[in-house]
Amino acid sequence: MAEIVRMPKLSDTMTEGVVAKWHKKVGDKVSEGDLLADIETDKATMEFESFVDGTLLHIGIPEGGTSPVDTILAIFGDEGEDFSALLQDAPAEVETKEEAPAGNAATPVVAATIDVAGIKADIIKMPKLSDTMTEGVVAKWHKKVGDKVSEGDLLADIETDKATMEFESFEAGVLLHIGVEAGGSAPVDEVLAIIGEKGADVDTLLKANAQGEPAQVEAVVAAPVAKTVEVLKTQSSAPKVQSSSNGRVMASPLAKKLAADKNINLSMVTGSGDGGRIIKRDIENYNGGGATQTFVGVESFTEEPVSQMRKAIARSLGASKFSAPHFYLTMDIDMDSAIAARASINEVAPVKISFNDMVIKAVAAALKKHPVINSAWQEDTIRRNEHINVGVAVSVEDGLLVPVVRFADGKTLSQISVEVKDYAVRAKAKKLQPEDWEGSTFTISNLGMFGIESFTAIINTPNACILAVGGTKQIPVVKNGMVVPGNVMKVTLSCDHRVVDGVSGSMFLKDFKKFMENPVVLLGAQNI
């Protein structure tokens, strides 16, 4: 549905704005955060970012045009959308906004009883940074009372109803007063801060403001308006200039912050943004010689539809991660004995045995000793599975499948090996059946063959645990008081804290470690 963006109130005294430049044209796609236009207020020319996504359907104020605050600046929506009904309300809205000042002018000014003419300080009010903003939250102050402030300095981060925006100072002087503390909120036009000469009478200014005495304050800022307009014309006729005639460098707030962090003089940097504006990449590429080495690339992407498998994975793992309170236990496994045992086993085994086959067998043996790990959360009950079905994560083109080695505790290494290999072949050929991946009581995810040292895995519901197996790495280890080369494998057990406690998980890992480090304990001749 089409949405109106209105002329924002970008300064505390702003009643109308001039569109100095449009950075988008009708028909352009616009994303939230894109630079939409340069708008001249009564104090400065500011960059106005879009708060909405969509196609720019209508420009209400042409370049160089002036319009009161809250009149239609632009309309966004879907390409080709009819927005004529929105424009029919425009005249009434403009008239409403124009009538208000006249009414205020006829109202008796109580503040005239308080003389603020000699006070060299300005009140900064909560700006209206979006068309629907009624109040703002000060997320962070970048200055504190007593700090010197220059025009264009980042003053505060202000959270609107649509985004958190950086608010720059329009005034130069000392920050004398903060009206809204960090984390606090205030309506639009409430006192945000006071900036002026050190020692200025802040209390009198606040009293005058509370009594509705804007005249003297407005007089302070009225004079520069004509000058600002002149600056606008200069900028419009020469879009490549990177600073205004008052010496202010045209740079994004982020660029200013990065420059300050890196102690870079912005006047020495050449801007590559619109109108010579200095942006983030200019600071990052600055080489100290007064010029930037800017790489100009082309943004591109492709989109592909989400497969049904990926949708199922997203639903399942999303539900698991955000419903089950995960905690993680990591342990190092000495693989020297397992390596030697595997070599010996493969000399007599009818099929080639992998380390993953040994992990499955060791997991099954440890689960038999620790049935709490072989459980499932069912809201009102906890299911203690007496059978041991080990799911093994297998990578396929669209994601992951978890075929199940059923009754793994009763199967030999050779039987496990044949079954896992068959599952892997059928999974890649998309020939697995639902019964092949249903009914697991525990899951293993092994990424060691990809060089991953350690990782954490999301529990495969309704299981209570999943074991993440990393690769075996040769590192120095201490054996019999001597530092010798050793082969170590890291494993991490993810546990559902609703079912499994830390001690239970640790005892399971302890026995798993014992079986992997002492294969003779795990295996007999019948298990090969």
Per the annotation, the verdict on 23 as an active-site residue is: no
- The answer to whether 356 and 467 have CB atoms below 8 angstroms apart is no
DSSP code at position 319: H
Distance, in Å, from the CA atom of 221 to the CA atom of 204, rounded to the nearest integer, reads 18
Nearest to 59 by CA among 33, 30, 93, 31: 30
Question: Would you list the DSSP string of 117-167?
Answer: TT--EEEEEPPB-STT-SEEEEEEESS-TT-EE-TT-EEEEEE-SS-EEEE
User: Are 249 and 277 a contacting pair, CB within 8 Å?
Assistant: no
Nearest to 316 by CA among 430, 494, 463, 444: 463
What DSSP string runs through 32-44? Answer: TT-EEEEEE-SS-
Phi-psi region of 43 (alpha: psi -120 to 50; beta: other; left: phi over 0): alpha
- The neighbour count for residue 194, using CB atoms within 10 Å, is 24
Counting other chains too, the contacts that 286-295 makes at CB distance below 8 Å and 24 or more residues apart are: 286/262
- At 388 the three-state DSSP class reads coil
Coil vs helix vs strand at 12: coil
From 78, 115, 422, 501, the catalytic residue: 501
Residue 154: strand pairing partners: 168
280 vs 291: CA distance, rounded Å = 14
- The yes-or-no answer on residue 501 being catalytic is yes
CA 514 – CA 493 distance, rounded (Å): 15
Could you say which of 131, 398, 497, 511 is catalytic?
497
Q: Check the CA dihedral 194-196-200-201 and report its sign.
A: negative
Helix (H, G, I), strand (E, B) or coil at 318: helix
Query: Can you tell me the distance from the alpha carbon of 470 to that of 460, in angstroms, rounded to the nearest whole number?
Result: 18
Cα 177 to Cα 117, 122, 200, 402: the distances in Å are 18, 10, 10, 62
Catalytic residue positions, numbered? 497, 501
